[in-house]
Amino acid sequence: MPEQPYKSVIEALLLVAEEPLTPEKISQVVEISKEEVAGLLNELREEYERHSRGIRLYEADEGYKLGTPPELSAYIEKLFSVGASPTLSRAALETLAIIAYRQPITRVEIDAIRGVKGAGVVDTLLKRKLIQVVGRKESPGRPQLYGTTPEFLKYFGLNDIHELPPLEKLQDKE
Partner 1 sequence: MAYQVKLPVFEGPFDLLFHLIQKQEIDIWSISITEITDQYLEYLRAMEELNLEIASEFLVMAAALLRLKSKRLLPSSSSFWEEEDDKEILSIDSTEDLIRKVLEYRLFKEAAFFLREREKEQKKIFFRSSRQPRVYRQTRQETIWDESQEPEKLARLFQQLQERELKENTRLSFTVTEEYGLRQKMKYITDRLKRSKSPLYFSSLLQSHSVEEIIITFFALLELCNQSEARVWQEKKFGPILIEVKEA
**Interface ranges with partner 1 (CB under 8 A):** 12, 15-19, 56, 58, 60, 65-71, 73, 76-77, 80, 84-85, 87-88, 90-91, 93-94, 96-98, 100-101, 108, 111-117, 138-140, 154-158, 163-168, 170-171, 173-174
Classify the phi-psi angles of 104: left when phi > 0, otherwise alpha if psi is within -120 to 50, otherwise beta. Answer: beta
Binding part of the chain for a second copy, among 73-81, 89-97, 104-112, 163-171 by CB under 8 A, reads 73-81
E strand or H helix that includes residue 145: strand 144-148
Binding part of the chain for a second copy, among 71-79, 96-104, 107-115, 162-170 by CB under 8 A, reads 71-79
CA distance 160 to 148: 11
Query: Minimum distance from CB of 64 to a second copy (Å)?
Result: 13
Query: What 3-state class would DSSP assign to 49?
Result: helix
Size of the chain in residues: 174
